[in-house]
Amino acid sequence: MAAVRIGVVALPWTGDQQGAGLAAGPRALLDGGLVARLEAGGALVDGPHSIELTDTERAAGSWYVTGVHGGYLADAIATLRRRGAVPLALLGDCTGALGVLGGLRRAGARRPGVLWFDAHADFNTPESTRSGRLYGMPLAVAAGLCLARLRHACGLEPPIDMRRIVLAGVRETDPEEQQHIEEHRLAAVRTADLRGDGQHRRLRDAVQRLSEVCDAIYLHIDTDVLDPNAAPGVPHPVPSGPSAGELAACVALCCTSGPVAAIGIAAYQPDLDGDGRTGAALLHVAEAAVTGLRASGV
In this model, does residue 198 exceed pLDDT 80? no
- pLDDT bucket at 83, cuts 50 / 70 / 90: very high
* Residue at 104: amino acid letter: L
Q: Is the peptide bond before 237 cis (omega within 30 degrees of 0)?
A: no
Q: List 168's β-bridge partners, or say none.
A: 117, 189
CA distances from residue 200 to 73, 136, 204, 249, 290 in whole angstroms, order as listed: 32, 27, 6, 9, 19
Q: What angle (nearest 5°) sits at the alpha carbon of residue 245, between those of residues 21 and 230? A: 40
Considering the entire predicted model, what is its pTM? 0.98
Residues 237-279 pLDDT 10s: 999 999 999 999 999 999 999 999 999 999 999 999 999 999 9
Q: What is the reported pLDDT for 240?
A: 97
In whole angstroms, what separates CA 276 from the centre of its chain? 21
- The whole-chain average pLDDT of the chain stands at 97
Percent of the chain with pLDDT over 90: 97
Residues 7-38 pLDDT 10s: 999 999 999 999 999 999 999 999 999 999 99
Number of structural domains, the chain? 1
What CATH number did the domain enclosing 249 receive?
A: 3.40.800.10
State which residues form the domain around 119: 4-296
* Residue at 191: amino acid letter: T
User: Which parts of the chain fold into alpha helices (H)?
Assistant: 25-31, 34-40, 55-58, 62-82, 96-106, 138-142, 148-153, 175-183, 201-213, 244-257, 277-296
- pLDDT bucket at 297, cuts 50 / 70 / 90: confident
Q: What is the reported pLDDT for 250?
A: 97
Q: What is the reported pLDDT for 196?
A: 86
Mean pLDDT, residues 43-59 taken together: 96
Least confident of 134-143, 188-197, 212-221: 188-197
Residues 139-164 pLDDT 10s: 999 999 999 999 999 999 999 999 99
Axis crossing angle, helix 244-257 with helix 277-296, rounded to the nearest 10: 20
- pLDDT bucket at 199, cuts 50 / 70 / 90: confident
DSSP-based three-state secondary structure for 69: helix
